[in-house]
């Protein structure tokens, strides 16, 4: 890859003005829009969308069908699994004790601190302008509300919001907020597709049988 807008494979589109390091690995079907920067050693899976002004740090690992909306900042060593959505202006940090200078007043360099990363599991969504303060993990199909600040791990299917973020509900794979079934303790249903989920000890897992409402007599 290079900065000229030409790609090694015709299935990869790099818009003029984007910067993709020659050592970055992009897979077929991926599109990189204007002013995005993908640093050295970063790896992106197939069918990703990298929006305008996005920053992807060195050696960041990104799965397939990931969408990075405009001006998202993904600092190394973040890892994003398949199907992750990163909204506009989201920030994934990498320094838990940030300082511009050390205790003696000298400017800190790359070797003066240890980068810590954010891990985002399959299908999770990070709302616009949310911030994930590393080190944290975002669970499978979880959803972080717009503007939230995540400072601790988020369970699978959790819906979190606020500063700092707290769980306010559950969401299913369809992205809809789940509703509790009144006749089944600890069971939640998706209003869109009827998928069922069981809650136990603050965790949610999928059930195999979809929910069907009984018709009114």
pLDDT of residue 3: 42
- φ, ψ dihedrals at 112, nearest 5°: -90, 0
Give all domains of the chain, ordered by start, each with its CATH number.
13-175 (2.160.10.10), 176-217 (no CATH)
pLDDT in tens, 117-132: 999 999 999 999 999 9
- pTM value is 0.90
What confidence category does residue 162 fall into, taking pLDDT thresholds of 50, 70 and 90? very high
Q: Per DSSP, what are the bridge partners of residue 119?
A: 79, 137
| Cα 143 to Cα 154: distance, rounded to the nearest angstrom | 9
Task: Evaluate whether 148 touches 158 at the Cβ level (below 8 Å).
Answer: no
């Amino acid at each position: 890859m290079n900065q000229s807008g030409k790609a090694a494979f015709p299935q990869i589109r790099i818009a003029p003005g984007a910067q993709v390091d020659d050592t970055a690995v992009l897979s077929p079907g991926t599109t990189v829009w204007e002013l995005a920067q993908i640093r050295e050693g970063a790896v992106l899976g197939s069918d990703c969308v990298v929006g305008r002004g996005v920053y992807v740090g060195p050696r960041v690992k990104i799965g397939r069908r990931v969408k990075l909306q405009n001006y998202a900042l993904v600092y190394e060593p973040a890892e994003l699994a398949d199907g992750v959505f990163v909204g506009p202006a989201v920030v994934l940090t990498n320094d838990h004790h940030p300082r511009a200078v050390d205790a003696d007043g000298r400017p800190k360099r790359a070797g003066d601190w240890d980068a810590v990363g954010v891990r985002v599991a399959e299908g999770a969504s990070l709302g616009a302008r949310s911030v994930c303060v590393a080190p944290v993990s975002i669970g499978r199909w979880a959803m972080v509300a717009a503007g939230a600040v995540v400072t601790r791990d988020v369970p699978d299917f959790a819906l979190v919001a606020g500063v700092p973020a707290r769980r306010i509900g559950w969401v299913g794979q369809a992205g809809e907020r789940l509703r509790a079934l009144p006749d089944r303790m600890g069971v939640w249903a998706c209003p869109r597709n009827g998928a069922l989920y069981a809650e136990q000890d603050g965790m949610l897992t999928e059930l195999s049988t979809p929910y069907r409402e009984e018709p009114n007599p």
